[in-house]
Structure formats: structure tokens, C-alpha cells
Structure 1
């Protein structure tokens, strides 16, 4: 990072958030939205060989409030062409839907999920259920969730979590939309509850899978999909996943950042602020491909095809070839 710090002086707002006066004077031409700023850190300059779908991006998080357009531009340049914005409660689900609507005319394509996270299960009531049902009718919402069980921290009691989860399983059946599931230290109970509804559910993905082999096989036996994050890139706590990635069929595997959390530890240098973002998804794909023993482009193409089918994305949405007019970069559009 040292080689970049010398440039970050006399900063002013720009398409990529801030850039130094030296960088601004470097070239008289504007930055193209499908190319990288020459002064970005190396970690943010990696481009996927094939289009990617980030199935779990928390872009409604406050850390993205000041530079969302720059984040989307970097995602686009990295060939991350579709983002599924995670709705973990009513407020964030509504924000995700609004964000998707505001960016409906350009890549990266944005969609949303709508659900109540197990941490907030104690808030579940009939009014919230009605609000979720209404959100599930919105065309921007492509999945029910993030919902599930978290017996690790129990911010809501297990009983409250199971009540809210059961209700959202019913909403998923009612809407016909797939489930975006959260599970921590609750694999056995999660499988029991999903199994009871499985014949009526369309599809379900275990978001940010971090569990063991037996739990993985249990989910695969239920015909569930698996989402992998930068947890795999963490040698301190994710090393066990490296032995499991080859056991996940490619037509069940999807990739996600879960940004701004879970910054990958395989980056060439630390990023200032240590905030994760969709443009870093290619680093996760690289790590998964390495441990599966396949090419990155094969993994990228397979996970994108799987995500497109799972979320029932419009044909071609995730395969958009980025062709941006020079003028797009002048008015700040990604």
C-alpha cells in the first residue's frame, strides 16, 4: 500500500470516491466506467475472466452511504455484473428495493432479498409479516430472507427465532420465491425445519456457509444450494472449507462477498478501512477455484449460471458485456 499512499493527498471527490490532485492531472481524459482508476490499490484492480453474480452484498450498510456510486463502478470494472442486496429487516429490505429501482437502467444489475434476520426475530409480529409479504410481491425482490437460525449469539431466543423462521418458510411457499438462509451453530434444527417444508419450497441457499462436512452433506441431501464467501480465504478459521469445496456440485455453488464484512485475507495488501466490497469478489473466486483445482473462468461461469437460474434473473442480466460510453464517466454514472 505504501506506493499508493503518496498519491492520496489534496483529495477531491471523483467517480471513485476521492483521488489526488496529482492523479486528476495525470490525464486529461475522464475515467471510463468499465476500466480501473490507475491509482486504485492492486486488490481493487482484479477483473474476473467471466461475469460474476455476488449473491450477498449488504450495500445498505452505512459504510457505503458516501461512495455507493464508486463502489458500483468498481464492481462493474471487476466484471461483477449482478448484485443481490441483502435485506435483513424491514428497513434494510425497503432500502435495498429502492436502491435496485434507482439503478435499474444500468449495470451492475441490482436485486434485493427481503426477510428478518434471526438476530431480530424478537421483533416478529403480524404487522411485520404483512410488510414482508408486500415486499415479496415487488419485482426487485428475488428471494425471501435473510432468515434462519443463529444459536451462536442468541440475540433473539431460540424460540423467537424458530417462530420467525417458520413464518418466513410459509411466506416463501406463498410467494414461490427461493430462500436466502442464515445458519450458525444450528445446523441440526435448521435441517429439521427446512425438511418439514422442503416439498413445498422452490429453492434455498445457505448463505455464507462455514460449517463442517456432515452439515454440508445434510444440506446437499435436502437439495439446497451453498454460498461461499471470503471466510474460505481466512487461514485462521476457514481452512476446513478448503477440503470441502470440491464436494459441492458446481450447479449448487454460488459466490458472495457479504460485504462490508469478511474481507478476504488473500489480498496482496490490506485495504484502508478494511471494508469489503463487490469488486473484491474475483479474489474469492480465485481461492475457490484453486482449492477445487479448476480454472477461474470455469468457476465464474458455473456460479453465474447457477445464480441466474436460482434467483430467476432475466436472461442475459448476469452476462452483460460492459460497453460504456465515454460520457458516462463524466456525470458520475457507473
Structure 2
């Protein structure tokens, strides 16, 4: 099983990393993709994966940190990407007009430049979007005449929004949000419309702790991916194994991985 969304630089995961790896591997999660949210985290993950197997990484700048994006940022990401066989995507990038921790103008600048970077490096985009659907889609369409090579990470919206992203050719990442009986109702309906060859599963740990976990832990963890997979499989009328196999195959195809997993 592959968790395609882990915020590994968070202290709750990075501290005592070796034990955390044992915990998620014992739960059946053999591989993870660790997400960078700024240039410093990109450099941190670049060094980290030299020491550990079973971890691949993204490199990029989250819209929350777009105010820190500068002329040198793209050069630093390019150098890291070319120097690491473990770097599999550009991101987490995109737009977040919900919290606006960075100005919308700076988010758009950083997003456009990372799209261009992904195209130059022939790397998929690892996308984030909150309350910015129209702007993000228009920007993607301005850069791609055909399908967008990438994933919409942590999708939480409704089936109408889902269709727009699928029409762009994007893969869709589903988290424990689907376990939320209050906020997750739109998502529970929407995932029924995700083709099996477009779905990927993720925890977004240590965030988005599944509300259906009992006893309730304090923070999310990759070891809870099987719980999320079961919830998704139930919604899709699939067995856990069918969903896990589909997600694995999609992950390997999108990120150009050959993990030789059973």
C-alpha cells in the first residue's frame, strides 16, 4: 500500500522517524510520498531520502508560502530535482484563496512558475486548491493544450467540481476527509464518480485524522491508511484489495515508479 500524501517534516512524524516507519510498514504501508511545502522543506526532504528507503518526495512551494517565492526558488528546485532519483513531482503547489496566508497575486505567480518548472522537468504537478477552483482551472488550461500531468491532492469538493478536474486529466487524491460524517458528505457522493484508473489514496498526515477511528488518536499517521482505504472501498463497492491495487497502479503510473510490490 502506498500513502501518496505525508507531511513528513512535521515534528510528530519526523521525530522518531525510524519507529514511525516501522509502525506504518507493520500496518501494510510499504511506501510513502513525502510532501514539501516550501523550499526549505524541499531541501530537508532531499537530504532525508538519502538515508531511508520506501520514501519518495515532492519539491515545491505551497500557496501558503508563496510570499517567500523568489527569483532563486525555481533554480533551487531544479537543482534538487535533477540530483535526486526520489523526487517524483513538483509541489505541493496551487492556490488557496480560503486562508490567503500569502497574497493571491503571489500565489498565482508561484503557481505559474512551478507549472512551467514541472513542464521543463517533465514531472507531474502535485496540486492543492481551496476556494480557487475557477482561477486554478483557467491557469492550468492556459499552460496545457491537452491533459494536465498531475494530481489534485486531498480532494474534498462535490461531484461537479470533480468532473471539471477529471476533464483536465488529473488524478484525484482521497484522504480521511471521506470518513467525516459532517463535512464529508459531498465527497462521499463524489468519489462514486472517480474512475478506478484515476483514484489515489492518502492520509495527509499528521492532518485530517479520520473521525471514524476508535480509540481516537491525537494526530493522523500513515499507519491509518488501511482504515481510509476501507472507507473508500465501501463507498465504491470494491474490496479493500481491489482499491489498494488500483491506487498502487495509478501511483506507479503517475509518478513513474516501479516498486515491485506484492
Please tell me the TM-score bracket, short chain as reference: over 0.9
Regions of 4+ moved over 3 Å: 199-202
**Superimposed CA distance per residue, residues 141-187 of structure 1 (whole angstroms, 9 cap, x where no aligned partner):** 10000000000011111111000000000000000000000000001
1:89 pairs, out of 32, 38, 49, with 38
Of 288, 296, 312 in structure 1, the residue corresponding to residue 256 of structure 2 is 312
C-alpha spacing 1:292/1:55, structure 2 compared with 1 (3 Å): same
- Counterpart in 2 of 1:98? 47
1:155 aligns to what? 101
Does the aligned pair in 2 maintain the 1:114–1:132 contact within 8 Å? yes
Q: Structure 2 residue aligned with 1:126, among 71, 81, 99?
A: 71
| 2:124 is the counterpart of 1:178 | yes
- Secondary structure of 2:106 counterpart: helix
Shift of residue 288 of structure 1? 0.3
User: Per the alignment, do residues 202 and 245 of structure 1 end up closer, same or farther by CA in structure 2, a change over 3 Å counting?
Assistant: closer
Q: Match of 2:211, SS?
A: coil
Gaps of 5+ in 2: none
Aligned-pair CA distance for 1:265: 1.1
Measured against aligned partners, the alpha-carbon deviations of 1:42-97 in whole angstroms (never above 9, x if no partner) come to xxxxxxxxxx1111101111122332111100111111111000011111111222
The answer as to 2:25 corresponding to 1:76 is yes
Distance 1:115 1:199 in 2: 23
- Aligned equivalent of 1:221: 167
For residue 80 of structure 1, give the secondary structure of its aligned residue in structure 2. Answer: coil
TM-score for both structures, normalised by structure 1: 0.76
Residues 210 and 238 of structure 1 are in contact (CA less than 8 Å); yes or no, is this contact kept in structure 2?
yes
Between Structure 1 and Structure 2, whose CA radius of gyration is higher? 1
Structure 2 CA distance for partners of 1:209 and 1:174, relative to 1, 3 Å: same
Q: Once the two structures are superposed, what CA deviation does each residue of 1:108-133 show, in whole Å capped at 9, x if it has no partner?
A: x1000001000111111111121111
Separation in 1, partners of 2:176, 2:45: 22
Q: What SS does structure 2 have at the residue aligned with 1:83? A: strand
> 1:200: Cα distance to partner?
7.3
- 1:114 corresponds in structure 2 to 59
Equivalent position of 1:48 in the other structure: none
Structure 2 partner of 1:41: none
In structure 2, the partner of 1:255 is: 201
Given that residues 233 and 265 in structure 1 are in contact (C-alpha distance below 8 angstroms), is that contact kept between their aligned partners in structure 2? Answer: yes
For 1:162 and 1:118, locate their aligned partners in 2 and report how far apart those are by CA, in whole Å.
8
> 1:270 maps to which residue?
216
Preserved CA contact (<8 Å) 2:147 2:168 = no
For structure 1, which segment, 120-129 or 63-72, has the greater mean C-alpha deviation from structure 2 after superposition?
A: 63-72
Q: Where in structure 2 are the equivalents of 1:53-72 lying within 5 Å? A: 53-72=2-21
Alpha-carbon RMSD across the aligned residues, in angstroms, is: 1.3
